[in-house]
Amino acid sequence: MIKTLRNIALLAAGTLLLAACRGGPAPEVVDEPSARLEGPVVEQRWNLLLVGTSERLDMPTRPYFVIDGEGRVSGSDGCNRLTGQAALGDNQRIAFTELATTRRACPRAEDAARVTGMLENAYRYLIDHDRLVFFGPDQRVLGGFRRVD
């Protein structure tokens, strides 16, 4: 747990340093329907690890998502099936749009909404080995996922 928190803190510090050095306006997200998405985020299953920098959620099923090569998102918020679209841009820019869930009754509905909200607010990502960390537009850590092999 401490190693995970340390890794996320290091990733956050590195991202803040890169953002401070780069300056200028944020890059535009590539959103061409005919363009095939490629990269380390695509065609991988990502299971939720942490919300924020340290909070683990105890959900009925493990939240996860997959982005396919066409930009379609599928997965689970921990209670409901999750679908939507994703676009990738320069400098690890990411945007999730059209996210929808099945809205079934769930004892952890608030936590499921937090998972969906994390994806909706994701602005940039950073990958370190098998970990994916999302950052908001203000560069704060939104949460982390682990790649499932």
Q: What is the pLDDT of residues 15-43, one digit of tens each?
A: 443 443 344 444 445 444 446 889 999 99
pLDDT tens, position by position, 57-103? 999 899 999 999 999 999 999 999 999 999 999 999 999 999 999 87
User: For 114-140, how does the pLDDT look when each residue is reduced to its tens digit (9 = 90+)?
Assistant: 999 999 999 999 999 999 999 999 999
Q: What would the CATH number be for the domain defined by 2-148?
A: 2.40.128.270
Query: Hey, where are the domains in the chain?
Result: 2-148
Contacts 24+ apart (CB under 8 A), 128-131: 128/7, 128/11, 131/4, 131/7, 131/8, 131/11, 131/49
User: What is the model's pLDDT at position 117?
Assistant: 95
Predicted model pTM: 0.77
Q: What is the pLDDT of residue 35?
A: 65
